[in-house]
Amino acid sequence: MNRMLKWILIAAGTAVVLLVAAVILIPLLIDVNHYKPQIEARVQEATGRSFQIGGAIDLSLFPWVGLALSDLHLGSPPEFGATKLLEIGRFEAQVRLIPLLSKQVEIKRVILEAPVIALVKQKDGRTNWSFETPAVAPDKKAPPRPAKKGPDEALPLAALTAEEIAIRNGRLTFEDQAAGQKQALADLNLVLRDVSLDRPLEIQFATRLNGQPLKMEGTVGPLGNPPASQPLAFDLTLAALEELNVKLSGAARDLQTQPAVNLNLNMATFSPRLIFERLGRPFPMQTTDPEALQAVALEIRLNGGMSGIKVEEGQLRLDQSRIDFSAAVAEFDKPRIDFEARIDDLDIDRYRPAADSKASSEDAASPAPDAKTPDAPKAVDYGPLRRLVVDARLKVDKLKVNRARLQDITLNIKGRNGRFQLEPFDAALYGGKARIEGLLDVTRKQPSSRVSFTISDLLIGPLLKDVIQKDVLEGRLVTAIDLRFTGDRPETIRQSLNGKGRLTFNDGAIVGIDLAGMVRNLQAAFGAGERLTEKPKTDFTELDIPFILTNGVFQTAASNMKSPLLRLLANGQADLAKETLDFRINPKFVATLVGQGDKETRGGVMVPVLVSGTFDQPQFRPDLKSLARQQVEEKIIESDELNKVFEENEELQPYEKKAKDLIKGFFN
């Protein structure tokens, strides 16, 4: 028995010695570089690209299974010329041999030295990183895919450790020939140290983007065994361009079944303009205020997965404005969006396109005289809006838009199945209050809208001075308007406007028009006499304008203005699509013009005024024909002298009416 045991031990020892000797001697006795041509041919066959191993292949088996390659080159498709897709200065990997027998992977190092990746996208859209999958030969069937393993069988390892996994001194370039742009990552370094499945993974990453520093560091994990079998925590810090600093923390969970994430994001204050400046790129927005977008910061807390996302405690700093918000999105196939925000003070005009950039874009968009007529704009696809369910609430303490200033704004929007209700929009502005309610319906090919406005005690003068920067009207406005229209383009909307309303101005004035002066001194008022030195103005106690809108045509038949001395009746129309005016104004002085530069007493003097021209250049002129007819009736037909003639001559009295009608007809 002892003898048998002795021989067994001798045999086992001999086997171990032979195995160790083989592991040590095989790399020494076998020249693996002899197989370089076969390796290159196999890689070239698999990728369809040229492949070369310029340096020697080093192989070791004990105590580490090691492989080292150097000077590797993987080419691009022939149409990309001599551009190499991938070049590697040196690749080295070492794994301990004995622990592999017990499913323990112990990596000493995996090092990638000086990798260079060159990505190119040509003008026709072809890329040098696209690999076509080789077709399976007709007489050969593709091998069946192995059954998918369950979560517990994904990586049957007892342990996985690594002392170091690193990429050193790498470079990545991307060239978009269609856009004429080229981006480069240089000095690319990634280091993972003390890697383990049951400990957090330390990450250090640094590079330079177009010469500007980019750095990320922190921890991820532990990965778990098997990986992703437990929540994956992360705590990372990103620093970019010496301007942007971002902190990410949280955890990803259920990665193999229903992936979800808890995320805290903190983006410290940074300047978007400075980032583009350091990248050597023009800022994409030419804002009215060149100092806008100099300071932006963002904080959010996000929780979500495949079924929905929820954002809480969101805060956006936009220059001097603060926006607090929260949002929830569920059922991505038919999105249900709940959104709420509050803004303290926002000047939208600062962020509107600058006047010169807008003009440049319009000039660029204008076709040359001999250019072909551009195609009609494509119809808007409202399908996504028809699937959307939304409940949005917004509050704004102060807002400036189109130079108008509003306060205490509340906005509520609810919508589903393509119908969105504004219920309502409330705001305080210029001493008054405004409310807007409306409905947008996109269930059909062309959207249709219904809007109602109510405004009370609004000081119209300061509003017009801010918005149109003109002093044309003064007074307090009270209004109620109901409108309906279809379409989604301004010209279509103007042509389809229908509705009615009433504009009432109290205790104001029409600035720039002196109706009293037009009647008192026709030559001065209409350009043939001495001009008035003061800025013309027509005061009123009330200006009431009832109107209807029919297919974009504004019509009023009984607009009137009242003042202590003046009565005014206006009728006519304005074409909102063509922007043309056609009105007739009949002013009547009730007693005297004393106080307006005239000491004469007048009774019932009617001087019609015609308004024509365009919105930008209205034209005013007296209706001389009507004025002449009026004077003929007063001075001749109804004069005391003519009436006395008929009274004193009885034989003429039967012909009085016919004679007067004949005179009227002659002057008409």
pLDDT tens digit string along 66-83?
A: 788 888 899 888 888 888
Last residue of a domain, one of 170, 196, 222: 196
Higher pLDDT, 156 or 235: 235
Query: What average pLDDT score do residues 615-642 get?
Result: 65
Share of the chain above pLDDT 90, in %: 32
Same domain, 659 and 582: no
DSSP states of 279-329 as a string?
A: TT---S--BSSTTTTS-EEEEEEEEEESSEEEEEEEEEEETTEEEEEEEEE
Task: Quote the pLDDT of residue 146.
Answer: 52
CA-nearest of 562, 558, 557 to 515 is 562
Same domain, 123 and 63: yes
Each residue's pLDDT tens digit, 241-300: 888 999 999 998 887 788 889 999 999 999 999 988 888 888 888 899 988 999 999 999
Query: What average pLDDT score do residues 580-606 get?
Result: 60
In this predicted structure, the answer to whether residue 345 has a pLDDT above a threshold of 70 is: yes
Containing 107, the helix (H) or strand (E) segment is strand 104-121
Strand-pair partners of 603: none
Cα separation values, 87 from 75, 122, 208, 355, 467, Å: 9, 20, 19, 49, 61
- Number of structural domains in the chain: 3
For residue 583, give both structure tokens: 């009105």
Each residue's pLDDT tens digit, 526-584: 555 455 556 677 788 899 999 999 999 999 998 988 877 677 888 999 998 888 999 88
Containing 492, the helix (H) or strand (E) segment is helix 490-495
Give dist(CA 279, CA 243) in Å, integer: 11
Residue 630 placed within a domain: yes
Same domain, 605 and 657: no
Same domain, 636 and 618: no
pLDDT band with cut points at 50, 70 and 90 for residue 103? low
Residue 297 placed within a domain: no
For residue 293, give both structure tokens: 């977008």
Q: 643 is in which domain, residue-wise?
A: 625-668
Last residue of a domain, one of 196, 219, 246: 196
Residue 400 placed within a domain: no
Residue 48 placed within a domain: yes
Same domain, 495 and 603: yes
Residue 520 placed within a domain: yes
667: Cβ–Cβ under 8 A, 6 or more apart, which residues?
628, 629, 632
Same domain, 607 and 476: yes
Same domain, 76 and 117: yes
Same domain, 527 and 667: no
Q: What type of residue sits at position 328?
A: A
Residue 504 placed within a domain: yes
Share of the chain above pLDDT 70, in %: 72
Last residue of a domain, one of 176, 196, 216: 196
37: Cβ–Cβ under 8 A, 6 or more apart, which residues?
none
For residue 282, give both structure tokens: 């023009």
Same domain, 614 and 640: no
Same domain, 607 and 514: yes
82: Cβ–Cβ under 8 A, 6 or more apart, which residues?
none
Sequence length of the chain is 668
Same domain, 56 and 188: yes
Residue 91 placed within a domain: yes
Residue 33 placed within a domain: yes
Q: Taken in order 305, 309, 314, 317, is the CA torsion positive or negative?
A: positive
Task: Quote the pLDDT of residue 259.
Answer: 87
Same domain, 573 and 639: no
Q: Answer yes or no: are the C-beta atoms of 292 and 350 closer than 8 Å.
A: yes
